[in-house]
Amino acid sequence: MNEKLLEARSRILGEEHPDTLRTMGNLALSYSSLGKVKEAAEMDEKLLDARSRILGEEHPDTLWTMGNLALSYSSLGKVKEAAKMNEKLLEAMTRILGEGHPDTLLGE
């Protein structure tokens, strides 16, 4: 269903519309839940690129996507890439939210 919704939203709203991007993120989560980690990672890579350009690298949605992609990389055995992404994520969360913020502490 999410695949059909993404196709429709991309066609009607455009590939970089917030609703299209949200659907892309939902599809990536669905792929991950189904064990389709490679597909989830590919979707999150596209989503991270789009959100970084549109929202900025430190927007909460961009950071959320970065965390999801790091999880996918880890599941795929791409440990170095996952660690690098998690370090970047933790640094951004610490700078934006502070060391004691619950979301920052979850990333440690």
Q: Give me the DSSP letters along 25-80.
A: HHHHHHHHHTT-HHHHHHHHHHHHHHHHHHH-TTSHHHHHHHHHHHHHHHHTT-HH
Give the domains, in start order, of the chain with CATH numbers: 2-107 (1.25.40.10)
What is the percent of the chain with per-residue pLDDT over 90, rounded to a whole number? 79
Which residue is listed with tokens 């993404």?
6
Q: Confidence band (pLDDT; 50, 70, 90) for 107?
A: low
pLDDT tens, residue by residue, 36-71: 999 999 999 999 999 999 999 999 899 999 999 999
